[in-house]
Amino acid sequence: MIKSINTIKPGDTLGICAPSGRFDMEKFNRGMEVLKSLGFRAEAPKEIFQSKRYLAGNDMERAGVINRHFFDPGIAGILCARGGYGALRVLNHLDWDLIRKNPKPFIGFSDITAVLTALMSQTGMPVIHGPHVVSLATADEGTLNSFLNTLSGSRETMEVPGAGIIREGLCTGILRGGNLATLCHLLGTRFQPDFTGAVLFFRRHRGARL
């Protein structure tokens, strides 16, 4: 059963994690300034700045930051530094019992789809398909307003410019999906998402063909 999501308001602290690749420090710092300008505090532990080839540290370190953020009562929500590649590798190292006992909003997109869908299937916890710290560095006003509204629990109608509809009509269901390539990589694993009764959405990489 999907539980209701806790709201996050200016003044709350967001825990920053890096489940995937290394990130551009200039964009990261600009994104952190955007969070500050929106009224949020942010906690970025030193582990997220580590490097192992193209990843932001080894698998257990990246998962450990997520586990600690869920356990910390001072963290209202968790925001990813960036996507890229590598989030699939942390799933077996997440403490699912701890996370179930300490639910809080988790925010990201792209490769972070792996963590988002696993959180839904393993805990019944709602998640937010939203910007990363580095993408906030160049986010327009509409994106920032949508980000704030979503964190606050707003139920405003969402418009998706240029969206393609697979089947027209009216429907209700839990919204599930994310990055198409990542969803395909989850097939056949214990973290394969269940789309039964769901409203499916997905994003393709630019240039990808169906």
Domain ranges of the chain: 13-163
How much is the pLDDT for 204? 60
Determine the pLDDT at residue 210: 32
Contact between 58 and 52 under an 8 Å Cβ cutoff? The reply is yes
**pLDDT for res 3:** 57
**pLDDT at residue 11, as a whole number:** 95
Give the separation between CA 190 and CA 75, rounded to whole angstroms: 28
Q: What does each C-alpha distance from 165 to 92, 199, 208 come to in angstroms?
A: 34, 11, 17
The predicted pLDDT at position 22 comes to: 95
Which residues on neighbouring strands pair with residue 80, listed in sequence order?
Answer: 17
Spell out the CATH class of 13-163: alpha beta
State the pTM of this model.
0.88
**What ranges make up the beta strands (E) of the chain?**
13-17, 41-43, 77-80, 106-108, 128-129, 174-179, 198-203
The pLDDT value given to residue 208: 37
The stretches of 7-128 forming alpha helices (DSSP H) are: 25-37, 59-71, 96-101, 113-123
What's the confidence (pLDDT) of residue 158?
A: 67
Tell me the pLDDT of the chain (210 aa) as tens digits: 455 667 899 999 999 999 999 999 999 999 999 999 999 999 999 999 999 999 999 999 999 999 999 999 999 999 999 999 999 999 999 999 999 999 999 999 999 999 999 999 999 898 999 999 999 999 999 899 989 988 988 766 667 677 777 778 888 878 888 888 888 888 889 998 888 887 877 776 544 333
